[in-house]
Amino acid sequence: MALTDGIVAIAATIMVLELAVPQTVTLSSLLAQGPVFYSYLVSFVLIYLAWRSHHNAFEKAEVIDGKVFLANGLWLFFITLIPFTTALVGNAPSQTMAEAIYVVSLILWISSFQLLDIAITNANPLAPKDEGRDNTARLILFGGHFLALAVAFIAPIYTMGVLGIDILIMAIGIIWNSNNC
């Protein structure tokens, strides 16, 4: 858990380094950082929600077998790509390839978490499934990401907006569910 926490913290920290301090502090120079800041914000919220889900998944685990260990490694691999893909999309927000690479990396990352949670529940049969494995949550999460991928090929500049809405809906659902427990 400590290694995972460290890697998550480093990934989030590396992303903020893409926010360049402007030579002059004017509204136009700050607005020029808008796409980079927005991509950072979306990625940070995703990392935070994933980190929370990761902790919840491991809290229920009494047994960590080889499959859980390998699934966690896969999840960590994909999280380490997030700073690169965030910078890519922040610097080229209207380019299809940048947006598509970003969304595909997120889809692989959230898919790897699903595999991780399955490995944890297989190793710990009495452990409850993660809230993200609920069919409604999966539909929102994956549906929103696949919609964003389609938008990347139609109107790439709107891809991050679709992701932002998807993540906002997920965050509200998580907050709502945690307050109703």
- Per-residue pLDDT reduced to its tens digit, 119-176: 998 999 887 766 656 677 788 888 999 999 999 999 999 999 999 998 888 888 777 7
> In degrees to the nearest 10, what's the CA dihedral of 100, 73, 10, 4?
140
What the block records as the tokens of 138 is: 């999966």
Residues 76, 168: Cα–Cα separation, whole Å? 23
Query: Residue 56 is which amino acid?
Result: N
- In eight-state DSSP terms, residue 181 is -
CB atoms within 10 A of CB 124: 17
Evaluate if residue 180 carries a pLDDT over 60.
no
Q: Is 126 helix (H, G, I), strand (E, B) or coil?
A: coil
pTM for this entry: 0.84
Of the candidates 114, 142, 129, 135, the residue with the CA atom closest to the CA atom of residue 56? 129
H or E, element range at 157: none
